[in-house]
Amino acid sequence: HRTGAAAGGLAAALTALALLAGGCTEATGGVLGTPGAAGLRDPYFPKLGNGGYDVGHYALTLAYDPGTGRLDGTAEITARATQDLSAFNLDLAGLTVDRASVDDAPAAVNRAGNELTLRPREEIREGAEFRTTVTYGGVPEPITDADGSREGWLRTDDGAVAVGEPAGSMTWFPGNHHPSDKAAYELRLTVPAGLEGLSNGVRTARRTAADGRVTTEWHTAEPMASYLATVAIGRYETASAAPGSGTVPVLTAAERPIADATAPLRDEIPEIVARQARRFGPYPFSTAGAIVTENEALGYALETQTRPVFPASAFDRTTLVHELAHQWFGNSVSPASWRDLWLNEGFATYAEWLYTEEYEHVPARTHFERAFAQETNWAFPPAAPPTAENLFDPPVYQRGAMVLHKLRETVGDRTFDEILRGWPAKYRHANASTDDFTSYAESVAGRDLDELWDVWLYGDGKPAKP
């Protein structure tokens, strides 16, 4: 009896547990549901991005009125659910959402800070593709970064320029705003008569309506991290260059007063891209270019995909080489998280050093020694910025490039060249982390490089010898 009672008790306890477990599943599946996470826990920006789905395509239709500063938009986002979804989030800062739907059925919308929560009428099943449409508008407000710089939708005298690194794209369209979720884009932009609209990718249409308004359409087929999306509106003059052998079509733009002065350097783009392709492998996108604005609301250049943007004051050959190098390093191979930013900036800075070495008679070693002597480069190790405020500080750029130069000196030029070409090939149109890079470099070198990483990539302070 005793044993029986004990066994019965155990069975009852197991049944209760099973019921409890079953009850839980019921509650999460049916009553509470399984919402996607509100952030992707990036080490610096935990709320950026959203869990539970993967965007494949954004179709953005935008109309901007520079007079009032008002932006009206529709975002059509095609995504695949990576879990059952009773609700999911999009990142959007400011602006007003007029309505939202999922697969053409109205969805409930809730707003909390920069998190937009959409609850579709029916739960989305894991693996299903679904289409979300958000109609929104308002006067976009830029974001002030931890380091004091401004990003997002930056208003100019007669237009705007949108830059989004790291978090600014949520000021002008709702999305999954973390670099780990890359997607293709279609963007249709309407601007008032007399103005020109520009964006990333291939311009597939340009038409002028009876009232003079200009609509352009832009297609970005290759995956793009949302921080690399851009729009520029103003009195731009455009210039295109037909593809030469092995190059892609180039479309550049500059605001009218600086169009002539910037034309010679804009004309160098096909050649610089071709030179970089010889070192880094085939150019990863189907078009290239640059957008130069005279408005200094933009305090820095940004490598926006296929068509980097520059304030006129930063449109020089070194910066152009840097932003074009990002097309391989950062745009095609994108950081897995913002902690891996040195993989963007260290490589783009090293690309500057390589360029002067090959074409301007200044060896990379000279840049390395100069950087070594700069105290500001030793504030922290490149792979571990202490806070979001330090993300774009000199160690990420200069010490990042120093890591690459030390790697080159350690493995030799031949192996280093193989890494320079092989890395963007291996992670083409994907994401990669610092660990991915160190493992890859070791696999090409055929040996362990721990000491190099310990000192140059992760070490605090300055090594005794350069």
Residue ranges binding ligand ARG (CB under 6 A): 145, 147, 149, 151, 165, 300-303, 322-323, 345, 392
C-alpha to C-alpha distance for 455 and 417, rounded to whole angstroms: 22
Counting Cα atoms < 13 Å in the Cβ hemisphere of 99 gives 4
Which phi and psi (to 5°) does residue 158 adopt? -125, 25
Of 85 and 351, CB closest to Zn ion? 351
> Residue 101 or residue 169: which is nearer to ligand ARG going by CB?
169
Q: Are 77 and 89 in contact (CB under 8 A)?
A: no
C-beta of 134 vs 301, nearer to ligand ARG: 301
Pairing of strands 231-234, 160-163: antiparallel
52/335 with CB nearer Zn ion: 335
Distance separating alpha carbons of residues 60 and 112, to the nearest angstrom: 23
Minimum CB separation of residue 37 from Zn ion in Å reads 29
Report whether 248 contacts 286 (CB < 8 A): yes
392: partner contacted, choices ligand ARG, Zn ion, none (Cβ within 5-8 A by kind): ligand ARG
Residue 160 near Zn ion by CB under 5 A: no
Residue 348 C-beta: closest distance to Zn ion, Å: 4
Judged by beta carbon, residue 107 or residue 314, the one nearer ligand ARG is 314
Opening angle at CA 75, ends 74 and 81, nearest 5: 150
Of the listed pieces 218-226, 255-263, 341-349, 406-414, which binds Zn ion according to CB under 5 A? 341-349
> Rounded to the nearest whole angstrom, what is the least distance from the CB of residue 79 to ligand ARG in the complex?
27
What is the closest distance, in whole angstroms, from the C-beta atom of residue 245 to ligand ARG in the complex? 29
Q: Could you check whether the bond before residue 166 is cis, i.e. omega within 30 degrees of 0?
A: yes
Distances from the Cα of 421 to the Cα of 61, 201, 284, 328, angstroms: 37, 23, 12, 10
**Shortest Cβ 345–ligand ARG spacing (Å):** 6
Joined tokens for residue 236 = 């731009």
Residue 165 partner contact from Zn ion, ligand ARG, none using kind-dependent CB cut-offs of 5 to 8 Å = ligand ARG
Closer of 248 and 314 to Zn ion (Cβ): 314
- CB under 8 Å to 451, separation ≥6 — which residues? none
Residue nearest ligand ARG (C-beta atom): 149
* In the complex, least distance from residue 151 CB atom to ligand ARG, rounded to whole angstroms: 5
# of chain residues touching Zn ion (CB under 5 A): 2
Strands 250-255 and 288-293: parallel
Chain Cα centroid distance, residue 264:
29
Q: How far is the CB of 300 from ligand ARG (least distance, A)?
A: 5
Does position 333 interact with Zn ion (CB under 5 A)? The reply is: no
Residue 348 within binding range of Zn ion, rule CB under 5 A: yes
364-373 vs 400-411: helix axis angle to the nearest 10?
A: 130
User: In the complex, what is the shortest distance from the CB of residue 391 to ligand ARG, in angstroms, rounded to a whole number?
Assistant: 7
Instruction: Report whether 161 contacts 154 (CB < 8 A).
Output: yes
Concatenated DSSP letters for 213-254?
-EEEEEEEEEEE-GGG--EEEESEEEEEE---TT---EEEEE
Q: How far is the CB of 388 from ligand ARG (least distance, A)?
A: 10
Name which of ligand ARG, Zn ion, none residue 302 binds, using a CB cut-off of 5 to 8 Å depending on partner kind.
Answer: ligand ARG
Cβ proximity to Zn ion, 191 vs 402, nearer residue: 402
- The whole-angstrom separation of Cα 95 and Cα 75 is 13
296 binds, among Zn ion, ligand ARG, none (CB under 5 to 8 A by kind): none
Q: Coil, strand, or helix at residue 186?
A: strand
Residue 102: which of 116, 120, 86 has the closest Cα? 120
Binding of Zn ion at residue 343 (CB under 5 A)?
A: no
Answer yes or no: are the C-beta atoms of 72 and 201 closer than 8 Å: no
Choose between 224 and 445: whose C-beta lies nearer to ligand ARG. Answer: 224
The stretch near Zn ion (CB under 5 A) out of 141-149, 342-350, 370-378, 387-395 is: 342-350
Considering only the stretches 148-156, 207-215, 262-270, 344-352, report the one whose residues sit in contact with Zn ion under the rule CB under 5 A. 344-352
Interface of this chain with Zn ion, residues 88 to 107, rule: CB under 5 A: none
Q: Which residues bind Zn ion (CB under 5 A)?
A: 345, 348
